[in-house]
Structure 1
Amino acid sequence: MSQSKFIVRKVAVLGAGVMGAQIAAHLVNAKVPTVLFDLPAKEGDKNGIVLKALEGLKKLKPSPVSSKEAIQYITPANYEDHLHLLKDCDVVIEAIAERADWKADLYHKVAPFLGEQTIFATNTSGLSINKLAEACPDSVRPRFCGVHFFNPPRYMHLVEIIPCVTSDVAMLDNLERFLVTTLGKGVIRAKDTPNFVANRIGVFSMLATIANAEKFGIRFDVVDDLTGPRLGRPKSATFRTADVVGLDTFAHVVKTMDDTLPEDPWHAYFKSPEWLQKLIAAGALGAKTRAGIYKKDGKMMTVFDPASGAYVAGGQKGDDAVKDILKIANPAEKFKKLRESSHPQAQFLWACFRDVFHYIGFHLGGIANCARDVDFAIRWGFGWSTGPFETWQSAGWQQVAGWIAEDIAAGKGLSSAALPAWVLEEDRAGVHFDAGSFDAASGKLIGRSTLDVYQRQLAPAKVLGETSAPLGETVFENAGVRAFTTGDDVLVVSFKSKAHAIGPDVLEGLNTALDIAESRFKGLVIWQTEEPFSVGADLASMMPAFMTGDWEAIDTAVCRFQAMSMRLKYSQIPVVAATQGYAFGGGCEFVLHADRVVAHLESYIGLVEVGVGLLPAGGGCKEFALRASQEARGDILAALKDYFMTVAMAKVATSAVEAQEMGFLKKSDVVVFNAYELLCVAKSEALAMANAGYRPPLKVKGFPVAGRAGAASIKGQLVNMLAGRFISEHDYYISGLVADVMCGGDVEQGTLVDEQWILTLERKAFITLLQNPKSQARIANMLTTGKPLRN
C-alpha cells in the first residue's frame, strides 16, 4: 500500500514579531488557515500583541499579503488561553526571538499540546538545531527540525531546512513538498552549523567587503556603487543592505558568528567595527530609524564617514576606469584586469572576490551538502544573479585558484588558511557538472533531489556549468519567438526579444505558432524562459515610421496587434498565458485575450500606456468595455467606472490575486506559488480544456455601451481632478479619449456594438495621441530614461 499523503489543513506560528507575523501572512496568501500566537497582553484584549502585529502587516511596504482580505484568515491567539488549538495544526513554526533559553521554555510549554503527527519547526537564522532539539520531549524529536525563512518571507525565494540528528526523513520530505509547491519556495537542506549556509557566506561577504573597504580606503557610497548591480547584485549592494536589514540585526548575526565560530580561521573579522557600534549606540539603526550608514538631510542623501565620525554628502560613484573593467563580458579577462590594476578600487574588488572564494573553498565540506546549495542559497537568499562558485568556475577555476594561493602566500588574504587540496587538483575544472555538484566532504558529485515535487519543475533553476540545452524540441523558430514541444500535445511559445517586448517578429512568430498548433497540437501555451512575461508593445520598432510620419504604416501595425489579440481569443485550440513578473501594456492585452491564465503569485499586471502618453490599443479598452457590459446589472456606467480608472490611472496589480480583484485576471484563472512550476501547470490546464472538448467562445454579436452620456459623466469627474491638480491638462486629454473609447464613442447609451467597433475607436485614438507633441515627449522620455514624464 502506498504511503498516505501529507495534507496541511492548518498551521500555527509561535511569535508575532517581524518574522512570525510575515510568515503567517505568506501562509494565508497560500490559503493555509493560520493561528498566530504570542504572549498574553498585560492589559486589554489578551490577544493584543498579535492584533497589533496584524495591524502592522497592513502598513508594510512592499505588502506581505497578496490581498487585503488575506489577513482575516490569521486567527490571533495567546499561550495562556489557546494552546489547545495546536492539536489541529499539521505544522507548527516557532519564530520567537533568537534566545535558546526562551525557545526551550516555550517548547516545554507547547509540546504536550502538539498533535501526534505535527511537524514542529524552529525558524532560526543561526542557532544550533540539535541543541534546541534537546528541549523537546523524545516523542517530538523525530518531527523537529530547523526551517529558516528569509525576510521578507513573501518575496524571498530561499528557505533552508536544517535537520537535527533525530529528524525523521519522511517528515523532512513532507515539509519540503509543502514549502516548494504550496509556499513557492526554493529549498536547500543545510547542515547544522552556525548561521547555516546563506547567512554564513552572505554575512561573511559583507564583513570581507567592510574590511577591504577600510584597507583600501574606499568610501561607503563608492563601495555600494561598485558592489550592487554592476556585480549582478541587488541595488542595496553592501552598506545600504545593512541599513535595510537593521544595523542592530546585522550586528546580532555577526555576534552569533563571533560567539559560535572561535575555530574559524577568519574569526578576527567576526566583529562589528567600532564605527558600527557607535551608530547603534546612538540609535541610528538604519532604514527603520531613518538614519544609519546613510541619512537623508533635507533632499540630500548623506553617508557616514568613519574617519571623521560625521555624515558627509553622499552619491559618489566608482572610478570610470574600474567600471569599464566590470563591463568586460569575459569573466577570466575581467578578473585578470581587476587583479593586475593598481587602482585601489580595482584592488578592493579583487580582494572582495578572492576572500569570498577562499572562504567557500575552505568551508564547503563543513557547511553545505554540495556546491550547488551554496550558489542557490546566495542567489535566492541574497539576490545575487550568479552564486560565488559559479562566478569562480566561469572565470577559470585553475587560474583563479592559483591567484588565491599566491595571495595567501604573500599575506594579502584576510586569513592565512591554506586552500584544501581538492581546490588545487590539477584536473579540476570547477564544481558544477551535468552529473552533479561537488561535495567536499565525500569527494563525490551530488545530483539533483529526486523528490517527486521536483518533477513539476520542467525548467528548474540551473547552475553555471550544467549544460543547458534549450527545453524541449524546437518545432518553429524565427527572430522573435521559439515554439517547442516537450513531447506531449501542447505547443509552447517563448519570446526572444529584450524584456519580451512585442514587435513585428514576435507577432509574425506567434501567428505561425498558432497555425502549427491549430493543425498539429491540442493547445498553445505562451511561457517565457525567465521573467518578465512582457513589458508590452515594442515602441522602438515603430520609431522609423513615427519619425517619417508614416501614419499608414503605424495604423497597419496596430491593426496587426489587434488581430493577434483577437486570434488568441478565438483560435480553434485553448490558449494559456503563463505569467510571472511584469505583464504590461500589450503583454497585459495578450493576457486579457487568453482562454486561461496561469499566473505566478508575483505577476504584476497592468495597462500602463497612459504613462507614456498613449492608451491601450491592442484590445485592452475593448475587453474592459465588454466585461463591464457583461457584469452590468442594468447600469453599464457603474460597472465601467472601476475599469476606466484602472486604465486612466495606469494602475498595476501588485500580485496575481490583486489582478483577479482588479479584473485583469478572471476568478477561474490559476495562481501558482512556485514560478518553476508555471509551465507544468499551464500545459496541464491547456490539455484539460482540450480533453473536455474545447470550443472557442462564440463571437459577441452586440453588447451595450455607456455612450456619449457615460463619457460626459466620466469627464465631469475628470474636471474635478484637473481642478484639484491631481492630473495635468495632458492627462485630462488622454483620459477623456480613454472615456470616449471605453464608452463606445459618439452613440446613445445602451447602443449595441461589436468588438471591432471599439477596436477601431482604440486604434484611431492611439494614432491621434501619437501625433500629439506632448505624448511624443512622454514616449521619447520613456525610451531614453526608462522613466515616465508628467507633462
Structure 2
Amino acid sequence: MSHTKFIVRKVAVLGAGVMGAQIAAHLVNAKVPTILFDLPAKEGDKNGIALKAIDGLKKLKPSPLASKDVVKYITPANYEDHLHLLKECDLVIEAIAERTDWKTDLYAKVAPFIGEYSIFATNTSGLSINGLADSLPDALKPRFCGVHFFNPPRYMHLVEIIPCKGSEAGMLDNLERFLVTTLGKGVVRAKDTPNFVANRIGVFSMLAAISNAEKFGIRFDVVDDLTGPRLGRPKSATFRTADVVGLDTFAHVVKTMQDTLPNDPWHSLFKSPEWLQKLIAAGALGAKTRVGIYKKDGKQMFVLDPKTGDYVGSGEKGDDAIKEILKIADPAQKFKKLRESSHPQAQFLWACFRDVFHYIGFHLADIANSARDVDFAIRWGFGWSVGPFETWQSAGWQQVAKWVEEDVKAGKALTSAELPAWVLEADRTGVHFADGSFDAATGKRIGRSTLDVYTRQLAPAKVLGEATASLGETVFENDGVRVFTTGDEVLVVSFKSKAHAIGPDVLEGLNKAIDIAEERFKGLVIWQTEEPFSVGADLSSMMPAFMMGDWDSIENMIRRFQATSMRLRYSQIPTVAATQGYVFGGGCEFAMHVDRVVGALESYVGLVEVGVGLLPGGGGCKEFALRASQEQKGDLLAALKDYFMAIATAKVATSAVEAQEIGYFRKTDVVVFNAYELLYVAKQQALAMAESGYRPPLKVKSFPVAGRTGAASIKGQLVNMLEGHFISQHDFFIAGLIADVMTGGDVEAGTEVNEQWILDLERKAFMTLLQNSKTQDRIANMLTTGKPLRN
C-alpha cells in the first residue's frame, strides 16, 4: 500500500451525530467529497437522519462550514441502502456513539464493503482501539486505527492518531499526511490508553480544579476568572468549558476514566461530583440546553452554588492581590508567591498546578511517546498557550519538583503516589531540549517527526527549550518590520508592531523591502510570525498629530499608505500576502493589492473602518470601484452595490473561502488549511509567478464609474435604513461619503476616471471624517475599550 501515493478521492463518515456531521463538514471545506451515513429513518426519506444532520450544520455558530455552498458536497446515506458506496471511499471514519458494543456491531456490517486499500478509522475520545480492532476481520486490522478529532473539528487544531497493535506504518503515515496538509491539523500519535493524551490530562486538570475549588471554598465564577486568560487559557476557563463541552459529555469522559483506570493512584478523583449528577439528571447539560453550571436569565448571568444547589448572581472576580501575582512575568517568582501565600485563592491555584505536575510526571511513561506530545496535545486540544511540561520547565524544574515532592509527603496532594525517579534526578533541567523531548518509557530524547509533510512547515510550532533561532537571515530591519530570506530567492517581510498594525515604521519598512526585492530577489511575501495578519492602520501612531491638529502630516501618512498599496500591485516583482487570523482595514487593503493572497482557511477578513467612523483610506474603496467596473456585465451599479454594502456594513468574512465569495480575496487566490504551511506555499506561489516570466499588471488607463446618479441610488437605500433605525445619523453620513467615493464623485454616470482619481477622493473623505467629532469619539472609544462605539 505504501508503494503508491495515497490519494483521498472520497471519504465516508459513519454516524451523523454532533461529531460525525462536523467532521463531514470539515472534509467538504477541504474539497473532499463525503458520504455521511446513519441509520435508515423509520418513516419518510430513509436518509432522513443524515439529511437532518446536514441541515443542522447550516445553523451552528461558529459555523462548521467554510462557506454555505460546500454543504452540498456531503451526500446523505443510510446503512440499509448504501453500504456498496463504501467501496469507492479511500478513508472511512466511524463516529457513532461511544459504546463498544454498538461500534463492533457496525463493524461487522460494514467490514465486507470496505475497499482493499482503504483506511478504516474510529473517532473515539477514549475507547480501547485494540479492543475495537479485535472484532475486525484480519485483512482489515493493518488498515485500522483511532483518529480522535476535537470538538469543533473545523477549529480545533488537534487530531490524535492512535495505532492498534497491527496498524501498518505506511498507512499511519498516509493518514497523518492527509490530516496535516488537507485538513490542516496538528497530529499527535497517542498510545492506546484510556482517553489518550489530551483528554486524559486535560480532563484530569479540570477534575483537580473542581476538587481544589471545593477544598478551598472558591466560587465557580471566581475559579473561571482565575483559570482563564490570566493563566494563558481560553476564556471559557474551567466550569464554562464543561458547559460548552456538555456536562453529559464531560461526565461520560470522567466515567471512562473511572471504569478503565482502576489502578490509577488518582482513581478516587474520577467521579462526577453530586451537584454535577443532579444537573445532568435535571436535563441541565450546559450550553446546548441553555442551562448548566451557568444560566442566563435575560441579561443577568447566574452560576451554581454547589453547596445549596441554587443559582446565585455570577460575575465575581479573583482577589486583586492574586491577580497581581498572576501578572508576574517570571514563572519561578509567580509559583513561589502562589505557594507561599496564605490566601485561599493562591493556595487553590498552586494546588491545581501541583496536581497536574504530579500527574504528568507520574504518568508520562504510560500515556505519551514524549513530553512534547503532552504539551502539544494540551495546547492544541484544550487551547492552553503554554503546555504543562513547558510551564514546569520554565519555572525551574528542580525547584518545582522539590515543592511537589514536599506536598506529596506532607499529604497535601490528591494522592500519596511518589514521583518517578527520573523527575527527581539531580542534574535534570527539564524535558525539552534542542535535540528532542524526553520519553519516560525509554529514557531517551525523541526528535521531531521526520515525515516529509513537515518539511512544508518552515516555522513549525515549537515547545519551550527547543532550538528557536529566529527564522532565516535578516536582510533589513527597522522598528516596524523584519525583512529576511530563508536561503532562496524570495524576500519575506514580517511586521513587528502590536497586532501587526500599520504605522509609519511599517510603511517605511515595507517600501524598503520592495526596493530590495526589486533589486535582488524574485519575489516578496508578507508573512507574520503569528496571527493576526494585521488589524489595519495604527490609529494610536496618528494620535500626537491628531492632538495638535496637524492634519497635513496625517494626510501625508494616508498618501503614503495608498502609494504602498499601489506599489504592491505595480512593483517589478510578484507580491504575495500570507494571511491568517484578522485581516482588517489596511491589512485587508494590502491583501487586495498584492498579486496573490495565500490565505489560511481561518482568515477573518474585512474593511471594518466604519467601526471607528472612517472609510477605507488605503485603496480599499478604489479597488472595489475598479473591480466593479471590470466585472460588470452591463450593469455597473449592480456590481458596485454588493461591494458598497461590504464596506458600509463592515462585513467580515469568517473564512478565506468566504473572503473569496465577498470579493476581498480573488477566486484565483489560494486557500491553505494548515497555517504552519503558509510561508512555504506563499514562497512557492511567488517563485512560480517569477519563473513564468512575471510582469506587473499594466496600469489601468481609465475605467467607468457610476457617478452622481449611482450615488443617489445607493443613498436612497440608506435613507430607508436610517428611517428604520438600522443605522445612526453618523453611519448615514459615513455611508454617504463611501457612496460618493466609490461612484467617482460629482461626475456623470459612465465617466472614465483613473485609479488616482478615486484614491484622491478616498483620502479627502477620510480626512473629512477624521476631523468630525463623532468619528473622533469612535476612535477614542476603540483605543480605550477596544470596542466599537455606536453613535
Question: Are 2:386 and 1:386 aligned?
Answer: yes
Task: Report what 2:526 is aligned to.
Answer: 526
Task: Report what 1:419 is aligned to.
Answer: 419
> Is residue 2–residue 170 contact of structure 2 (8 Å, CA) maintained in 1?
no
C-alpha distance in structure 1 between counterparts of 2:169 and 2:298, whole Å: 56
Question: Are 2:675 and 1:675 aligned?
Answer: yes
Q: Secondary structure at the match of 1:448?
A: coil
> Is residue 572–residue 695 contact of structure 2 (8 Å, CA) maintained in 1?
yes
> Is residue 524–residue 686 contact of structure 2 (8 Å, CA) maintained in 1?
yes
Task: Report what 2:77 is aligned to.
Answer: 77
State the 1:689 CA deviation: 0.2
Task: Report what 1:401 is aligned to.
Answer: 401
Task: Report what 2:316 is aligned to.
Answer: 316
Q: What is the one-letter code of the residue matched to 1:712?
A: A
State the 1:298 CA deviation: 2.2
Task: Report what 1:565 is aligned to.
Answer: 565
Q: What is the one-letter code of the residue matched to 1:326?
A: L
C-alpha distance in structure 2 between counterparts of 1:107 and 1:355, whole Å: 39
Task: Report what 1:178 is aligned to.
Answer: 178
Task: Report what 1:192 is aligned to.
Answer: 192
Task: Report what 2:103 is aligned to.
Answer: 103
Unaligned runs of 5+ in 1: none
Decide which moves more: 1-10 or 367-376.
1-10
1:149-168 per-residue CA deviation (whole Å, 9 max, x = no partner) reads 00000000000000000100
Q: Secondary structure at the match of 1:603?
A: strand
1:257-305 per-residue CA deviation (whole Å, 9 max, x = no partner) reads 0000000000000000001111111111111111100011221101000
C-alpha distance in structure 2 between counterparts of 1:517 and 1:401, whole Å: 51
Task: Report what 1:627 is aligned to.
Answer: 627
C-alpha distance in structure 2 between counterparts of 1:511 and 1:433, whole Å: 39
1:48-105 per-residue CA deviation (whole Å, 9 max, x = no partner) reads 0000001110000000010111010001000000000000000000000000000000
Q: What is the one-letter code of the residue matched to 1:491?
A: L
Which aligned segments of 4 or more residues in structure 1 are displaced greater than 3 angstroms?
none
Task: Report what 1:762 is aligned to.
Answer: 762
Report percent identity of matched pairs: 83
C-alpha distance in structure 1 between counterparts of 2:40 and 2:280, whole Å: 30
Question: Are 2:732 and 1:732 aligned?
Answer: yes
Task: Report what 1:505 is aligned to.
Answer: 505
Question: Are 2:464 and 1:464 aligned?
Answer: yes
* Structure-to-structure mapping, 1:191-590, within 5 angstroms: 191-590=191-590
State the 1:633 CA deviation: 1.6
1:15-61 per-residue CA deviation (whole Å, 9 max, x = no partner) reads 00000000000000000000000000000000000000011100000
Q: What is the one-letter code of the residue matched to 1:391?
A: T
Question: Are 2:115 and 1:115 aligned?
Answer: yes
Decide which moves more: 183-192 or 281-290.
281-290
* Structure-to-structure mapping, 1:17-56, within 5 angstroms: 17-56=17-56
Unaligned runs of 5+ in 2: none
C-alpha distance in structure 2 between counterparts of 1:123 and 1:73, whole Å: 21
C-alpha distance in structure 1 between counterparts of 2:308 and 2:178, whole Å: 51
Q: Secondary structure at the match of 2:62?
A: coil
Q: What is the one-letter code of the residue matched to 2:488?
A: D
Q: What is the one-letter code of the residue matched to 1:486?
A: T
* Structure-to-structure mapping, 1:589-608, within 5 angstroms: 589-608=589-608
C-alpha distance in structure 1 between counterparts of 2:194 and 2:634, whole Å: 65
State the 1:4 CA deviation: 1.5
Q: Secondary structure at the match of 2:577?
A: strand
C-alpha distance in structure 1 between counterparts of 2:467 and 2:477, whole Å: 21
Q: Secondary structure at the match of 2:311?
A: strand
Q: What is the one-letter code of the residue matched to 1:408?
A: V
State the 1:764 CA deviation: 0.4
C-alpha distance in structure 2 between counterparts of 1:235 and 1:257, whole Å: 26
1:213-263 per-residue CA deviation (whole Å, 9 max, x = no partner) reads 000000000000000000000000000000001111100100000000000
1:129-173 per-residue CA deviation (whole Å, 9 max, x = no partner) reads 000001110000000000000000000000000000010000000
C-alpha distance in structure 2 between counterparts of 1:680 and 1:296, whole Å: 46
Task: Report what 2:63 is aligned to.
Answer: 63
1:594-628 per-residue CA deviation (whole Å, 9 max, x = no partner) reads 00000000000100000110000000000000000
Q: What is the one-letter code of the residue matched to 1:774?
A: K
> Is residue 2–residue 171 contact of structure 2 (8 Å, CA) maintained in 1?
no
Q: Secondary structure at the match of 2:42?
A: coil
Q: Pairwise CA RMSD of aligned residues?
A: 0.7
C-alpha distance in structure 2 between counterparts of 1:557 and 1:449, whole Å: 47
Q: Secondary structure at the match of 1:16?
A: coil
TM-score norm. by structure 2 comes to: 1.00
* Structure-to-structure mapping, 1:625-704, within 5 angstroms: 625-704=625-704
Question: Are 2:750 and 1:750 aligned?
Answer: yes
State the 1:467 CA deviation: 2.6
C-alpha distance in structure 2 between counterparts of 1:685 and 1:48, whole Å: 44
State the 1:192 CA deviation: 0.1
C-alpha distance in structure 2 between counterparts of 1:302 and 1:593, whole Å: 48
Task: Report what 1:616 is aligned to.
Answer: 616
C-alpha distance in structure 2 between counterparts of 1:606 and 1:419, whole Å: 52
Q: Secondary structure at the match of 1:295?
A: strand
> Is residue 782–residue 788 contact of structure 2 (8 Å, CA) maintained in 1?
yes
Q: What is the one-letter code of the residue matched to 1:778?
A: R
Task: Report what 2:143 is aligned to.
Answer: 143
1:573-614 per-residue CA deviation (whole Å, 9 max, x = no partner) reads 000000000000000000000000000000001000001100
State the 1:2 CA deviation: 9.1
C-alpha distance in structure 2 between counterparts of 1:714 and 1:634, whole Å: 18
Q: Secondary structure at the match of 2:373?
A: helix
Q: What is the one-letter code of the residue matched to 1:299?
A: K
Task: Report what 2:778 is aligned to.
Answer: 778
Q: What is the one-letter code of the residue matched to 1:566?
A: M
State the 1:466 CA deviation: 1.0
State the 1:3 CA deviation: 2.8
Task: Report what 1:155 is aligned to.
Answer: 155
Q: What is the one-letter code of the residue matched to 1:212?
A: N
Q: Secondary structure at the match of 1:747?
A: coil
Q: Secondary structure at the match of 1:76?
A: strand
C-alpha distance in structure 1 between counterparts of 2:757 and 2:306, whole Å: 67
C-alpha distance in structure 2 between counterparts of 1:97 and 1:556, whole Å: 62
C-alpha distance in structure 1 between counterparts of 2:453 and 2:552, whole Å: 52
C-alpha distance in structure 2 between counterparts of 1:214 and 1:467, whole Å: 41
